[in-house]
Amino acid sequence: MTEAKTDIKSLYPEEVAGLLKEMGEPSYRASQVFTWLHRYGAAAFSEMTNLPKSLREALDGRCRIPGCEKAAVQVSKADGTRKYLFRLSDGHLIESVLMRYRYGISVCVSTQVGCRMGCRFCASTLGGRVRDLLPSEILDQVYRIEADAGERVSHVVLMGSGEPFDNYDAVVRFLRLVSDPGGKQISLRNITVSTCGLTEGILRFAGEGLPVTLALSLHASDDETRKKLMPVANRYTLKEVLEACDTYFRKTGRRVSCEYSVVRGVNDTDKDAEKLGRLLAGRKMHVNLIPVNPVTENRFERPDPGSIAAFQKKLTACGVHATVRRELGTDIDGACGQLRAHFLNPGEGGTVS
Ligand code: SAH
């Protein structure tokens, strides 16, 4: 059996340099290769036209460039939001989304094929975790979307399918590579990593020296309610996960924000808002309220806009800054996983090109 080829697009610059040195190449070749991969998003060594043909062939013999191939895209007529369906080299499908804001273009990337966290309201977890994405595959979602849209991506959120801290090393590599001066150089301050609350991951991440924003998927203000929505709450109590966030803030100086999917009859009462307020006021954590997206396979419903506004008001009264997430792409809306489902079962409606 031949040895597996190296995923060159997941390597740090110094590792690319080490590889080329081993191949007997002068050091400037490493930065040429890195630039091709990360600034120009080259998908094949044959595109690297300023390298000698012999080197391109030698690289091709020992390395591979994993990436994403566009399978479908759905464009919102309302606001230009674009949902992409990408096919990976082994045939698995993942979704990514481009969103337009006043401050720039934000891309939401997936970190795993599927997810094993089991949150009851989330479509990405229905089939469990299929596999982790490679750093190169997380990066390529950004590179392909930037090339397709023809505009610079300024912000990235790790909120597609997958739990970032369940694929920790790949996510950290992704963050370092996407912000590398030799690549796309996306500012780490413009990147948000969202976690369902894997406490060890949060604590480890606090020591990485990466000035990104950490978002915690909280979704409840007591352990009992949280357990109904998120199996991860059986592993860590709210107290443990919030203390990990306190440590994160102490170590990094960066405030953690919370996501709270509001579900009718589950976590949307005045009392819930008050409890949440008490939990977060001293911590100065910002809350992002997300009216829950209905998923066919579950029975959760969103409260009417009036009760969400009342919930927000209550939080504000407790001294907690809260915003209701602006909904983009309402005409192509739906929870994560919808585009994939429509693509696989085209009879079920939705326009996919
Ligand atoms: N695994 C990570 C990131 C993925 S999801 C995490 O749990 O944070 C990004 C956010 O969308 C999370 O807060 C998640 O809980 C939320 N979410 C998932 N499905 C949803 C739905 N149907 N309606 C509203 N929010 C949802």
pLDDT digits (tens, 9 = 90+) for 322-343: 999 877 776 776 555 566 666 6
| Length of the chain counted residue by residue | 353
Tell me the average pLDDT across 168-194.
98
Nearest Cα neighbor of 295 from 72, 122, 146, 59 is 122
State the helix-helix crossing angle for 135-149 and 168-178, rounded to 10 degrees. 40
Q: Distance between CA 5 and CA 32 in Å, rounded?
A: 20
Nearest Cα neighbor of 106 from 302, 334, 329, 342 is 329
Q: What residue spans in the chain does CATH classification 3.20.20.70 cover? A: 68-348
- Catalytic residue of the set 108, 196, 245, 336: 336
Residue nearest atom 20 in ligand 1 by C-alpha distance? 122
User: Separation of 217 CA from ligand 1 center, angstroms?
Assistant: 7
Asked whether residue 42 carries a pLDDT value surpassing 70, the answer given is: yes
User: Separation of 69 CA from ligand 1 center, angstroms?
Assistant: 25
pLDDT the model gives residue 339: 61
- Catalytic residue of the set 25, 63, 68, 95: 95
Asked whether residue 168 carries a pLDDT value surpassing 90, the answer given is: yes
Q: Distance between CA 176 and CA 29 in Å, rounded?
A: 21
User: Separation of 287 CA from ligand 1 center, angstroms?
Assistant: 14
Which burial class, exposed, middle or buried, applies to 52 when counting CB atoms under 10 A from its CB (0-12, 13-18, 19+)? exposed
Name the most confidently modeled range: 79-83, 103-107, 290-294.
Answer: 103-107
pLDDT the model gives residue 342: 62
The residues lining ligand 1, judged by C-beta closer than 6 Å to any ligand atom, are: 119, 121-122, 159, 163, 194-196, 217, 259, 261, 290, 292-293, 295, 335
Asked whether residue 14 carries a pLDDT value surpassing 90, the answer given is: yes
pLDDT the model gives residue 346: 60
pLDDT the model gives residue 350: 42
Q: Can 68 be counted among the known catalytic residues?
A: no
Question: In CATH, which superfamily holds the domain spanning 68-348?
Answer: Aldolase class I (3.20.20.70)
Would you identify the CATH topology of the domain 6-64? DNA polymerase; domain 1 (1.10.150)
Tell me the average pLDDT across 25-35.
97
**Atom of ligand 1 lying closest to residue 216 CA:** 8
Give the count of alpha carbons within 13 A of 191, CB side only: 21
Tokens of 110: 């997936």
pLDDT (tens digit per residue) in 261-314: 999 999 999 999 999 999 998 998 999 999 998 877 778 999 999 999 999 999
| Cα 88 from chain centre | 17
Question: What is the phi/psi pair of residue 280, to 5°?
Answer: -105, -20
Asked whether residue 352 carries a pLDDT value surpassing 70, the answer given is: no
78 in Cβ contact with 99 (< 8 Å): no
Q: Can 95 be counted among the known catalytic residues?
A: yes
User: Separation of 10 CA from ligand 1 center, angstroms?
Assistant: 26
Q: Distance between CA 178 and CA 219 in Å, rounded?
A: 29
**Atom of ligand 1 lying closest to residue 230 CA:** 15
Nearest Cα neighbor of 153 from 200, 231, 101, 117 is 101
Give the pairing type, strands 93-101 and 82-88.
Answer: antiparallel
What is the chain's mean pLDDT, rounded? 93
**Spatial CB neighbours of 182, under 8 Å, sequence gap ≥ 6:** 13, 31, 34, 35, 38, 39
Q: Distance between CA 343 and CA 94 in Å, rounded?
A: 11
Mutating to test ligand 1, I would choose from 159, 205, 267, 300 the residue with most ligand atoms within 8 A of its C-beta, which is 159
pLDDT (tens digit per residue) in 50-67: 999 999 999 999 999 999
Q: Distance between CA 86 and CA 43 in Å, rounded?
A: 14
pLDDT the model gives residue 294: 80
pLDDT (tens digit per residue) in 211-239: 999 999 999 999 999 999 999 999 999 99
pLDDT the model gives residue 337: 57
pTM of this structure:
0.95
User: Separation of 107 CA from ligand 1 center, angstroms?
Assistant: 15
Q: Which amino acid is at 109?
A: V
Q: What residue spans in the chain does CATH classification 1.10.150.530 cover? A: 6-64
Q: What residue has token string 């977890």? A: 125
Q: Beta-carbon neighbour count of residue 333 at 10 Å?
A: 15
